[in-house]
Amino acid sequence: MSVFYLALILSLIIGGLIEYWVVKFAYRNRLFDKPNARKLHKEAIPRLGGLAFAPTLLIVTLLLTLWDSPSGPISFHVEDNMHLLLPLLITSAIIFALGIIDDLVGLRYRTKFIGQALAGVVMCAMGIYLTDLHGMFFLNQLPAWLGWIITIFAIIYVTNAINFVDGIDGLASSLCAITLIYDAVAFVKVKMIIMAVLAIILLASLLPFMLMNMFGSSHGRTKTFMGDTGAMFLGLTLTYFGVLLNSETVAYDYNFNQFVFAFAPLVLPCFDVIRVVAHRVRNHKSPFLADKNHIHHKFIALGLSPHATLAVVFSTAVFLMLAVLWGSIYIDPTLLLILSFIVWMICNYTLTHLIRKKPKYEKS
């Protein structure tokens, strides 16, 4: 059996069991995300669903080290790539602990930023950081100190972008799922098999959560939200994968800009964060004060159902990913970034205009 199929099957089983236990534990102990004016749900729902992701990744990886494939034991690949695995293990442990504390008792955003920055420092200190931006912001090879700063910023930025976009059922998880599929294919292409396996494990661990998140019921005690534990863990891991794919030691057979190739699936959540924070600052509000101005809130305000909104936003994310990939072949990456963001802002302005034309429009 291929290691990819085995990783998929084991992750579905183990991830499903852990997810089921976590959700039952949360309901039994009334660990709820209570509704308020800025949230779309009307019932108390547990927000510990993301708690299953990291344990599933760890357990399945350990199990795979005991399995022999036709090309040799997976443990050989683990040992050979320990310099890549240890930074992910240690930094994700920091983020995982930070997320659990935040979901259970709540943390101020400054505390979360410090924890995320600490994870970034650890990752950089262990040798995983951006060394080349391949022309983005007119930068190519970076001195180590600048590579550290940009990498730490990227970890904080992407981690919070995934957290910010987690506003309707299935949205953050579906965007992370398409990114993990993309990353798995890319890692296979560049022969980083152990990384492809990790991406598949995470993808499979998302599926049980997505079923309970999108189709579960609070009355049946099966519905759950991802919470900061899952969102921050996924954000960190996807940043880590992007940094590896951006590595100057990796060669591609295509003409895509390498930086764009590494981070293309994250365009939508990253663009949405910039626009939302700019909107809050312009209105003299804290950039960290939650509101209903995200892209998914706009489609909801237009009258789309949550599931229809999910389909539209997910399709938009895939389109943006493909568009920037194609554009990176012909356009300077910095210019491509600027043009893409201008188009994004025009689309958002159009949505806002349509919302304001609706009867009974209320400014959020």
Buried b (16+ CB within 10 A) or exposed e, 164-174: bbbbbbbbbbb
Residue 139 pLDDT? 93
Q: Quick: pLDDT tens for 209-227.
A: 999 988 877 777 888 888 8
What distance in Å separates the CA atoms of residue 173 and residue 179, rounded to the nearest whole number? 10
Number of neighbouring beta carbons within 10 Å of residue 189:
14
What distance in Å separates the CA atoms of residue 276 and residue 58, rounded to the nearest whole number? 35
What distance in Å separates the CA atoms of residue 60 and residue 53, rounded to the nearest whole number? 11
What distance in Å separates the CA atoms of residue 50 and residue 61, rounded to the nearest whole number? 18
Residue 358 pLDDT? 75
Residue 104 pLDDT? 86
Average pLDDT over every residue of 73-86: 77
In this predicted model, which residue has the larger pLDDT, 142 or 247? 142
Q: How open is the CA angle 270-272-273, to the nearest 5 degrees?
A: 70
pLDDT at 78 exceeding the cut of 90: no
pLDDT at 364 exceeding the cut of 50: no
Residue 351 gets which letter from DSSP?
A: H
Tally of residues, the chain: 364
pLDDT band at 38; cut points 50, 70, 90: low
What distance in Å separates the CA atoms of residue 332 and residue 196, rounded to the nearest whole number? 29
pTM to 2 decimal places:
0.91
Residue 357 pLDDT? 82
- Half-sphere exposure (CA, 13 Å, Cβ side) for 25? 12
pLDDT band at 303; cut points 50, 70, 90: confident
What distance in Å separates the CA atoms of residue 190 and residue 163, rounded to the nearest whole number? 29
Q: How far is CA 94 from the centre of its chain?
A: 16
pLDDT at 200 exceeding the cut of 60: yes
Question: Which two structure tokens, joined as six digits, stand for 249?
Answer: 């030691």
What does residue 169 show for φ and ψ, rounded to 5 degrees? -55, 125
* Angle, helix 333-357 to helix 267-282, in steps of 10 degrees: 60
Q: How open is the CA angle 125-57-133, to the nearest 5 degrees?
A: 40
Q: Which residues contact 343 (CB under 8 A, 6 or more apart)?
A: none
